Structure 1
Amino acid sequence: MEHQEKHLKSSDFITDIVIGISDGLTVPFALAAGLSSAVSHNSIITTAGVAEIIAGSIAMGLGGYLAGKTEQEHYQSELLREYQEVEHVPEKEKQEIKDIFAEYGFSPESQTLLAEELSRDKDKWVKFMMKYELGLEEPNPNRARNSASTIGASYAIGGLIPLLPYFFTDSPSEGLKYSSIIGLISLFLFGFFKSKVTGQPLLQGAFKVMIIGALAASAAYGVAKLFS
């Protein structure tokens, strides 16, 4: 029987979706819940909610873009430094190759042989050092742009879910009731999905995400009620 390995692919994309939806479901949900205890018209909640979602999407997207650019700049900086070290202190770099293979239990003779073979091709040599010495993988050149759009869109989608009931109900209290039901169900399903793709206990992860969202919304509601 053919063996099939199951590994998570497109982890950057999944990570960005998780970041965007996680905040998108929680923050607007808490904001709407807080406003529900302080205002008397749904239009105020929907206006504030939409404004928050737009601002949050831009802020989260920009954060993802800057993180992606920083990752690329860091990689290029280390790549340049590694090329300089290979060029000016090759014996030291060869010894580092040997040290890496020594950790895997290779004999001294094998370490020397592998170091000499790798050092014949400077590009492969540097690539090996980047990955196994520094633990750096070359980032996707479109990472910053993709991350910004994915996180921003995910935040907007997540944020609209708990806000939608306020567009179709007559009072903040009624909107809060349906928003709480939809929001908590969405948080549970999101937590389930997040746990599945990260290999965590499914129900435990789902309930944890749902409880965090519920606590955030309850805290916002209580604070707004207190000060109103």
Structure 2
Amino acid sequence: MHHEQHLKSSDTIRDIVIGMSDGLTVPFALAAGLSGAVNSSGIVITAGIAEIVAGSIAMGLGGFLAGRTEADHYHSELKREYDEVERVPEQEKAEVKEVFADFGLSPALQDQIADEMAKDKDKWVDFMMRYELGLEKPEANRASQSAITIGISYIVGGIIPLSPYFFVSESQIALYYSCAITMVCLFVFGYFKSKVTGQPVFAGALKVLIIGAIAAAAAFIMAKLINGK
């Protein structure tokens, strides 16, 4: 039970990271690019909200499809394993023995374990799924949960760089506030992301910050070049 809770937690964190990463970066780059082309915050807000809606749907759909693919793959392999323990039980026993041979167990003990395991097909197949194929049973409604988590995380991330434009009418001035707020949020997000994933926190935070800054700067400069300003 503890393992399943841990797995669920790590999957949810992964979805939040996916949604927030793009949510902070893409609308920020879009807002920066538009700020280099137009001087109206209203236009930036309209385009930014449209992008956040489209982006959250696209990201959520991507998460849903990934979750469905994972579940379909698991059930396909599960069906195949049940078929194999029926058709070629000795071959499947040999695969069980190979797993325990890697643990250093004696051949006699390998034979005993394989024979005992073969008495319960459900446990036998579950063992093969976990230790031969490295597959864990997906949670129920995992695809829907993933879609919702990623979509909401994208929206939350996207609103942050867009928020100054609601209060400042000139887009280029609003961009300065957006940069300050978003840079801080990118650094904090990168810090916690690195902490959760076990990476060096300062280096991870700096990496996320730099990626976001480069994306926004590239969009701003390109818009300036295209408009000849």
Distance 2:181 2:8 in 1: 30
Where do 1:177-192 residues align within 5 Å? 177-192=176-191
C-alpha contact (below 8 Å) 1:72/1:141 kept by paired residues: no
C-alpha contact (below 8 Å) 2:42/2:169 kept by paired residues: no
What SS does the aligned partner of 1:169 have?
Answer: coil
Distance 2:224 2:182 in 1: 20
Q: Which residue of 1 aligns with 2:31?
A: 32
Distance 1:22 1:136 in 2: 27
User: What is the deviation of 1:170?
Assistant: 2.2
Q: Which residue of 2 aligns with 1:4?
A: none
Name the count of aligned residue pairs.
Answer: 222
C-alpha contact (below 8 Å) 1:8/1:197 kept by paired residues: no
* Greater helix fraction, Structure 1 or Structure 2: 2
- Provide the aligned C-alpha RMSD in A: 0.9
The one-character-per-residue Cα deviations of 1:137-192 (angstroms, maximum 9, x if unpaired) are 00012100000000000000000000000110121111100000001000000000
Q: Which residue of 1 aligns with 2:57?
A: 58
Q: Does 1:125 align with 2:124?
A: yes
User: What is the deviation of 1:40?
Assistant: 1.5
Q: Which residue of 2 aligns with 1:139?
A: 138
Q: Which runs of 4+ in 1 moved over 2 A?
A: none
C-alpha contact (below 8 Å) 1:100/1:132 kept by paired residues: yes
Q: Does 1:176 align with 2:172?
A: no
Distance 1:31 1:155 in 2: 14
Q: Which residue of 1 aligns with 2:107?
A: 108
What SS does the aligned partner of 1:10 have?
Answer: helix
User: TM-score, with normalisation over the residues of structure 2?
Assistant: 0.95
The one-character-per-residue Cα deviations of 1:81-115 (angstroms, maximum 9, x if unpaired) are 00000001000000000001111111111111111
Q: Does 1:20 align with 2:34?
A: no
